């Protein structure tokens, strides 16, 4: 059984959003078409409280994109984004949400950040996503969404570690940084995942 995972297709990651991924909106028509090919579609949503530790404004004297140590790991400080119940945290209005069976929200704990849909960045807490998918007898996971080198990459890596066959759909994601995108694809391949294009699905 295969499932399509829509990672963080939210307004704040779109052009004009608080943490805009260049051309992020280009993926939406392809995501909508792809959903028809899957029996199970699930989504993640970055869903932060305003007090979240990943926001630069919550650290006195720190600027956006500086790093700090959080829970023993390096944390990039982001602009305020995807605050719970704001328009920025909502799915893009053109995304077809009718077939999304369940939404896993992440980044809700103020002091820990979660790029992956499975675990927070320090692997302290599970979201329950792996258990949900295993109960549904899912073995193959196809990833699309934003951003390619953060939430899509981290979700794909955790999926591989959880024993799922992982497909990273390279034309249905966009990156903040082109070089990081190339590194992300190499990392997925090295770990045993597959980098594919939507036309082969």
The residues annotated as belonging to the active site are: 8, 106, 151
Distance CA 133, CA 6 (A): 14
Q: Which residues pair with 70 in a beta bridge?
A: 73
Given 46, 149, 158, 170, the residue binding Zn ion (CB under 5 A):
46
Least Å distance, CB 81 to Zn ion, is 6
DSSP strand pairing (73-76 vs 165-173): unpaired
Which range of residues in 117-125, 147-155, 164-172, 186-194 is near ligand VGL by CB under 6 A? 147-155
Of these partners, ligand VGL, Zn ion, none, which one is at the site of residue 153 (CB under 5 to 8 Å by kind)? none
The reply on whether position 28 binds ligand VGL by CB under 6 A is no
**CA-based nearest residue to 19, from 95, 107, 103, 124:** 107
Identify the CA nearest to 152 among candidates 100, 112, 93, 195. Answer: 195
Q: Closer to ligand VGL by CB, 1 or 102: give it.
A: 102
151 binds ligand VGL (CB under 6 A): yes
Q: Which does 181 bind (CB under 5 to 8 A by kind): ligand VGL, Zn ion, none?
A: none
Considering only 89, 146, 166, 172, the residue that binds ligand VGL (CB under 6 A) is 146
Distant-in-sequence, close-in-space partners of 111: CB < 8 Å, separation ≥ 6: 53, 70, 71
Q: Tell me which residues in 41-100 interact with ligand VGL (CB under 6 A).
A: 46, 78
Contact flag: residue 14 with ligand VGL (CB under 6 A): no
- The site string for Zn ion over 146-175 (x = CB under 5 A, - otherwise) reads ------------------------------
In the complex, minimum distance from the CB of residue 176 to ligand VGL, in angstroms, rounded to a whole number: 8
120 makes contact with ligand VGL (CB under 6 A)? no
Cβ-based burial of 199 (10 A; exposed 0-12, middle 13-18, buried ≥19): exposed
Residue 160 and residue 192 in contact, taking contact as beta carbons nearer than 8 Å: yes
Q: What is the DSSP string of 60-71?
A: TT--TT-EEEET
Binding site for Zn ion (CB under 5 A): 46, 107
């Amino acid at each position: 059984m295969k499932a399509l995972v829509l990672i963080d297709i939210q307004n704040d990651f779109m052009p004009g959003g608080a943490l805009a991924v260049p051309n992020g909106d280009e993926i939406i028509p392809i995501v909508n078409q792809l959903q028809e090919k899957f029996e199970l579609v699930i989504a993640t949503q970055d869903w932060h409280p305003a007090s979240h530790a990943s926001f630069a404004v919550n650290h006195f004297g720190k600027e956006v994109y500086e790093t700090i140590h959080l829970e023993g790991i390096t944390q990039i400080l982001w602009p305020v984004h995807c605050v719970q119940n704001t328009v920025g945290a909502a799915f893009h209005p053109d995304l077809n949400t009718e077939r999304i069976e369940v939404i896993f929200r992440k980044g809700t704990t103020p002091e820990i950040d979660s790029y992956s849909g499975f675990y927070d960045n320090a692997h302290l807490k599970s979201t329950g996503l792996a258990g949900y998918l295993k109960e549904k007898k899912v073995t193959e996971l196809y990833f699309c969404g934003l951003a390619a080198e953060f939430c899509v990459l981290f979700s794909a890596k955790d999926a591989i570690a959880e024993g799922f066959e992982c497909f990273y759909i390279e034309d249905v994601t966009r990156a903040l940084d082109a070089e990081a995108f190339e590194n992300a694809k190499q990392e997925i391949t090295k770990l045993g995942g597959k980098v594919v294009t939507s036309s082969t699905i």
